[in-house]
Homo-oligomer: A and B are copies of this chain.
Amino acid sequence: MAIIVQKFGGTSIADAAKIRRAAERVIRTVKDGYQVVVVASARGKQTDQLVSDALELNPNPPKREMDQLLSTGEQQTVSLIAMALDAMGHDAISFTGRQIRMLTDSVHTNARIKSIEAERIHKQLDKDKIVIVAGFQGVDESDNITTLGRGGSDTTAVALAAALGAEECEIYTDVDGIHTTDPRMFKNAAKIKEISYDEMLELSSLGAGVIHTRAVGFGKKYDVKLHIRSSSEDKEGTIITHEVPQMEGVVVSGATVQEDMAKIGLVGVDNIPGNAAKIFACLAKAKVVVNDIVQTEVSAKKANLSFMIGLSDLAAAKKAAEGIKDEVNCERIFVREDIAEISVVGVGMRTHYGVADKMFSALAEAKVNIDSITTSEIRISCIVDKDQAKKALEALCVVFGLDKPADQRGSIS
């Protein structure tokens, strides 16, 4: 009998009515002839409440205790879902991370999964029970409770689907799937029917928040078909799967804007070996995550160096840069906060020419000034002024046909 893993996020099970609706969804899948494993997050604002309870007592709570505390949110949800299913006449059993031996390392609040004991779950499924597993949590070798960090329940669901050999891992959420771009920025954004792991990884790390990068990475590694769909409407969402030939026909699958970032530049750094290493060691020590590093030579002796950071890291990054300034003989440091990063993503770029050209032309036509450009194999990103970001995105959506389903777009010239 084929297995389906269904993951419900916090907003999809926020109250009794929503828990019942989720339970009905599960029962429909059981009636379709599947064994179902449900993965659940904490209800709505439960986690926020627990975090605030903790901070009231300790502004810097020990991470082990934080995990002990936060893991209760999912434990509550899974037992409540099991009760709802029981009330609807279906046998169900809930498990904590510990109870299915979701073994992780000991990095509290951001642990990595090492192994899962699928046997206990199979045994219950084979007794015709619906199994409900608490997302986000595990235990380390010493039986301390750990949590998986942001997007942890997605990761639990995908890891379980891999361990159980599930046919599909469905991620139920409050949107009806992945769109070509954020519908709040471009209202005609089309829903994507199918997308590759690599494209989704780029989109997720560029801020498309529906599913966490780590869960997509897991899906790719273990070839788990992911299905992002709406918890309120019963219709197909977006399938994330391995790359299939027809995907290459789609040049650009999606576009993103990231506005919560800043650019830092070090102008006139001595162009000698080791200076770049010194600068980035300094930033790493300050725990600043750095993206899109660009270095350009301005003379035989001097170079300019710039990089992007998240806005929340700005203070730390500035301090780190100021600290290293004299050592690398830097003339001047500049900071730009009024910027945004516009990206287009598509596996078709691997085989199609002219995507960059088409992108830059469209931006030029829309009179958007490009500050800088970075690319990966399946992505092109431009830094633009923040107040031109929306206009820029719209221009790209139109030129790459992102208001239409992939099969109705014209091919690139």
Contact = CB atoms under 8 A, between A and B. Distances in A.
Interface in A64-105: 64-66, 68-69, 71-72, 75-76, 78-80, 82-84, 86-87, 92-94, 96, 98-99
Instruction: Give the oligomeric copy count.
Output: 2
Contacts of A87: 57-61
A58 B78 contact: no
Interface stretch (A48-56, A237-245, A249-257, A274-282): A48-56
A62 interface: yes
B56 A16 contact: yes
Contact of A83 (B20, B65, B94, B98): B65
B94 A57 contact: no
Contacts of A80: 53-54, 57, 65, 69
Contact of A82 (B62, B82, B83, B145): B62
Interface string A90-122: 001110101100000000000000000000000
A67 to B, nearest CB: 8
A19 interface: yes
A143 interface: yes
Contacts of A64: 93
A18 to B, nearest CB: 11
A83 B57 contact: yes
A80 B62 CA distance: 10
A193 B283 CA distance: 64
Contacts of A86: 58, 61-62, 65
A68 B79 contact: yes
A28 to B, nearest CB: 18
B143 A98 contact: yes
Contact of A96 (B57, B68, B92, B93): B68
Interface string A27-67: 00000000000000000000000100110111111101110
Contact of A50 (B76, B143, B145): B76
Interface of A: 16, 19-20, 50, 53-54, 56-62, 64-66, 68-69, 71-72, 75-76, 78-80, 82-84, 86-87, 92-94, 96, 98-99, 143-145
> Would you list the 7 A-B pairs with minimal beta carbon distance, nearest first?
A72-B72, A58-B87, A69-B79, A68-B79, A58-B83, A65-B79, A61-B83
5 contacts: A57-B83, A57-B87, A61-B83, A64-B93, A69-B83
